Structure 1
Amino acid sequence: MDETPLDTHDGRAIATAYVGFGAVGILGGELVLSTLLGTPMASPLAIGKGLLFVVVSSVFVGFLVNRKNQRIARQQASVRTSLTKLENVVSASPVPIISVTPDKQVTRWNEAATETFGWTQEEVLGKQLPEVTSDRPVSVDQILDQTTEEEGLSNLEVELRRRDGSVGEFLLSTAVIRDDDGDVVELVGVFVDTTAQKQRERRLREFEMAVEQAGHAIYLTTPDGKITYVNPAFEHITGYTRDEAVGETPDILKSGEMDGSYYESLWETVESGDTWHERIVDQRKSGEFYTAVQTIAPIHQGDESIGYVAIQSDITESELAKQRLGVLNRMFRHNLRNRMNVIDGYAEMIRTDAANEETLDRANNIVTAANELVALAEKAQTVADLLESDGSTRYVVELIDEAVTRAQSYYPDSTATVDVEPGISELVDNRVGVAVNELVTNSLEHGGETVHVDVFRSPRNDERLVIRVSDDGPGLPKGEWDAIERGRETPLEHGTGMGLWLVHWVVTKAGGSTRLGTTPLGGAAVTLELPIDDGDDDARDDSAGVERTLRGTTLDSTDE
């Protein structure tokens, strides 16, 4: 469409020309007829009437042309306004809008495209389209060809590379613009960024897979306790299928073993927004009781609770194993002590009545073996008690002092030195004292005449302390530590006692780690790395008076 339409001056010119041609036609026609044919000329009145008709007709024609011009002008103004509005809409659009020629020359690139892909309008307009496709999806040429063939695309999923190299996921819709001859002049693309949405969908699928494959029973409920979802582990543990459980309440699992106050406390906790974590005895569909550790937490959407998630870990077998071990341990210790007392009594009788040195030595061996078995049973009980107890905190210097002093009292002819790094006054788990005592005692018994205990801050982490016990003895047998690193013993590869296992278990329970090394002289060096416990102000106040600096102190029989 011509953007410079005829104006009113053009309408007047047409009217004037119409008058001129009409007047010339009338007068010239009369003159030609009169001259060539000899006919008399029309009267002035007739000629005047003709000229008046021409003038009136010219005015009317000029009026019509002027009206048409005004109408065209209004239409063109409306088109220009629409185009301006469209340009503003495209520029302000929150989604990227890009148009290119068939040879990929950029003709439109809005601000959203700059924010999304990184290139500015100055860098792309009138130039070739930047390479935005990633390695995986279809190419730009394929998209342009498909757009032309199908007269546009709708919601095509594509992956596009941004200027910084990152790849985004988009829904692309395209359109074709043709000229009057039907040739393609532009291809327009609108991009909806679905990167965050796709990531959420993937996380949701991963979460769903994790819940479905979890080994713990997981179920969801509405705020009033109606079950809306159970995972396969729930079906396996409880015996109820998903169809049987959904729509019911967790009451289907009630065994009658938990009193009403348990459930009152449970609901009071979760309805207040807190998490419930307690042991429970529930009942399977088969009627069999099972013991579980149950965690229930509210699910919040904003400030509103929309339901609850519950996780049950079936500990029935571990509870039974603990009970069996407890009973066997009690029976073992009780019967062992009684039988050892009998053996010890008979050995004393043999020793008293011994007629020769050989019989006396055998009796002594029996007494020694009996005492060692009783000591082993006592150590096993110590391990069990420690691992089942909740640790408290003690100053590390005080703990080391007490552990070394106790070990030293059993071997007064040996020497134990303690060196504490200046400024060390932190609290650690008090159960570690048993591990230190075990290491020092073992070193004094088997490791040589001198044992060193060093206490210093971990060079790798200021929040951890290191206690290293080293000696100048022959070192620990390789099999002793190999069994601990494997986490189990075998009939052919095992330790000779329970000491290192005790150290390993106690330190691990306290949140620390244990490493075995050697000293330059070939002796053993066991390193404990422990977390520092902040404790509380009361613990620090109560212990302030008992902290002692053992730096450079030698503990021997004279210290007793």
Structure 2
Amino acid sequence: MFETRHDETTVQLLVSGEQDQSAIRDLLLSEYDVVVDDEIQPASCYLIEDRLLPKYGSQLLAHKQAEHPTFCPVVVIKRQDSSFSLGGTQQVWQREQAVVDDIVAAPINEQVLNYRLENLCIRRVQSRKLTTQYEQIEARYERLFESAEEAIIVVDVESNEIVECNRAACELFGYSKFELQRLDPSGVIQFEDGCEFTEFTEHLSQQDAGVTKTLICTTQWGQSVHAEASAAAIEHAEQQSVLLLIRDISERVRRQKQIRVLNRVLRHNIRNSINVVSGYGELISESTADDDVSAFAAKVVDRSKELLDLSEKSRTVSNALQAGDELQSLDVVAVLDRIRAALSDEYPHARIELTAPESAHVFGNSYLQTALYELCENAIVHSTQDAPLVDISVTEAQSAVTVRIEDRGTGISEQELAMLEGEETALRHGSGLGLWMVNSVVDGIGGELDISTDSTRGSVVTVSLPQPAD
């Protein structure tokens, strides 16, 4: 009859009076192993008389809690003259609501009793299976947690205590698990933006999305380790917690510092050397009467100026690519107005037309203006007209803003377009550096860059930028 219950067939009977015990026991013996004892024993189900519930209620509740999440059913036998109910509001009834799972009325109907117990025991079998699956999943999680190469710590939001940490976290901070869990996390973790640790966890616990932040970890030996943490709010042991997955980026930071120093030294030395070469070229051009020598010297001066321009552009590109600006809402029309004013001052012979709505907000950072300026300036510089014409238009459609920049120049060479893919040809190293910077900035803010070019009609550059959600 109860094949799905397997061995879940033990019922403890908690009933006063030998006659009642014997009668109920006889009803159950055909399907269950019945235990009659004054002390709580291990069982699949408990059948208790309502007037004994105050005596055994606390013990049964403790037993159910110990078995959790496995279901441990308790059924109350309600006497005819009893006022027992699960709908009361008194404290004693509220406690019993947590203990009692079902009620059968006396005198007991054998069919009703067996039907109730069958359903409860089936639920117990199912809950045991789910418990086993949960334990297996938890065991796998524990193995993954401990074997992860990146440091993981879990911090309770309310107490601000480290409640869990893995092997990698102990190795990063230099403490044993026992020692690390007894440390104030704010004493070993400092955010580079100055945010307080408790402020960070409280704020994160109130939002759905996770965040990534850079921080400094202080080890047991007093060393400062640059790190990056991906953090998210989780439910841990029925408490609100924050999980931080911490990656050591010290080597990356060290390389970035070395590159910045190297770039700065190289640019400084190259600029000084090119200034010297350019100065000598001008002196030669001014002091010679030989037209050929003067022409060669002029070429030296022109090429020196090109190298100086490239050096300055490489500095702009380096700053733009290394910037960690957070995205914010920007009015791209206002940005283009500023660009138009600046270019009109620098290139008074150029005509710059802007067709746009009063405003159009996009996601961007401080280097979006640098990228758009680069595109507009290129349209002027590469124009073949005496009075270069640059048409700029702004349109809004489908959660995006499109900026279209059209010129009448010589088009963009294949070598420069190749820079968009990170390629570099042997013929013109770095000639498309500015275009590469533009593509990197636009891509970094989630936009798209499209270029249509023709050597006889000029180029059309289209920049699609995401709009902030309303």
Query: Structure 1 residues 431 and 89 mapped into 2: Cα distance closer, same or farther (>3 Å)?
Result: same
Residue 527 of structure 1 aligns with which residue? 462
Residue 398 of structure 1 aligns with which residue? 334
Q: Does 1:290 align with 2:225?
A: yes
Aligned 8 A contact 2:417 2:432 in 1: no
Give how far 1:214 is off: 5.0
Residue 481 of structure 1 aligns with which residue? 417
3-state SS, counterpart of residue 411 of structure 2:
coil
Q: 1:217 aligns with which of 151, 162, 170?
A: 151
3-state SS, counterpart of residue 418 of structure 1:
strand
One-letter amino acid matched to 1:484: L
One-letter amino acid matched to 1:351: S
Aligned 8 A contact 1:472 1:519 in 2: no
Q: Any residues of structure 2 matched to 1:67-78 within 5 Å, and which?
A: none
State the structure with more CA Rg: 1
Aligned 8 A contact 1:253 1:284 in 2: no
Give how far 1:321 is off: 1.9
TM-score (norm 1): 0.50
Residue 454 of structure 1 aligns with which residue? 393
Residue 86 of structure 2 aligns with which residue? none
Aligned 8 A contact 1:474 1:523 in 2: yes
Gaps of 5+ in 1: 1-74, 98-154, 156-170, 172-191, 536-560
Q: Does 1:317 align with 2:251?
A: yes
Q: 1:331 aligns with which of 265, 272, 275?
A: 265
Query: Structure 1 residues 354 and 198 mapped into 2: Cα distance closer, same or farther (>3 Å)?
Result: farther
One-letter amino acid matched to 1:245: K
Aligned 8 A contact 1:440 1:469 in 2: yes
Identity of aligned residues (%): 25
Q: 1:468 aligns with which of 393, 404, 424?
A: 404
Instruction: Indicate the RMSD between aligned Cα atoms, in angstroms.
Output: 4.8
Gaps of 5+ in 2: 1-25, 31-107
Query: Structure 1 residues 517 and 95 mapped into 2: Cα distance closer, same or farther (>3 Å)?
Result: farther
Structure 2 Cα separation of the partners of residues 412 and 344 of structure 1: 27
Structure 1 Cα separation of the partners of residues 336 and 377 of structure 2: 13
Render the CA deviation track for 1:161-190: whole Å, top value 9, x for unaligned: xxxxxxxxxx7xxxxxxxxxxxxxxxxxxx
Q: 1:93 aligns with which of 110, 119, 141?
A: 119
Aligned 8 A contact 1:218 1:312 in 2: yes
One-letter amino acid matched to 1:266: F
Q: Any residues of structure 2 matched to 1:230-249 within 5 Å, and which?
A: 230-231=166-167, 233-234=168-169, 237=172, 244-249=176-181
Render the CA deviation track for 1:424-467: whole Å, top value 9, x for unaligned: 54355353222122112212222554433221124xx32x2111
Structure 1 Cα separation of the partners of residues 128 and 342 of structure 2: 68
Structure 1 Cα separation of the partners of residues 110 and 189 of structure 2: 77
Aligned 8 A contact 2:317 2:434 in 1: no
User: How many pairs align?
Assistant: 352
One-letter amino acid matched to 2:305: N
TM-score (norm 2): 0.58
Q: Any residues of structure 2 matched to 1:515-554 within 5 Å, and which?
A: 515-518=450-453, 523-533=458-468
3-state SS, counterpart of residue 342 of structure 1:
helix
Structure 1 Cα separation of the partners of residues 129 and 294 of structure 2: 87
Point out the more displaced range, 357-366 or 213-222. Answer: 213-222
Give how far 1:249 is off: 4.0
3-state SS, counterpart of residue 484 of structure 1:
helix
One-letter amino acid matched to 1:524: S
Residue 442 of structure 2 aligns with which residue? 507
Query: Structure 1 residues 455 and 409 mapped into 2: Cα distance closer, same or farther (>3 Å)?
Result: same
Q: Does 1:342 align with 2:276?
A: yes
Structure 2 Cα separation of the partners of residues 330 and 290 of structure 1: 25
Aligned 8 A contact 1:273 1:298 in 2: yes
Query: Structure 1 residues 533 and 88 mapped into 2: Cα distance closer, same or farther (>3 Å)?
Result: closer
Structure 1 Cα separation of the partners of residues 233 and 148 of structure 2: 20
Aligned 8 A contact 2:394 2:401 in 1: yes
Structure 2 Cα separation of the partners of residues 348 and 212 of structure 1: 69
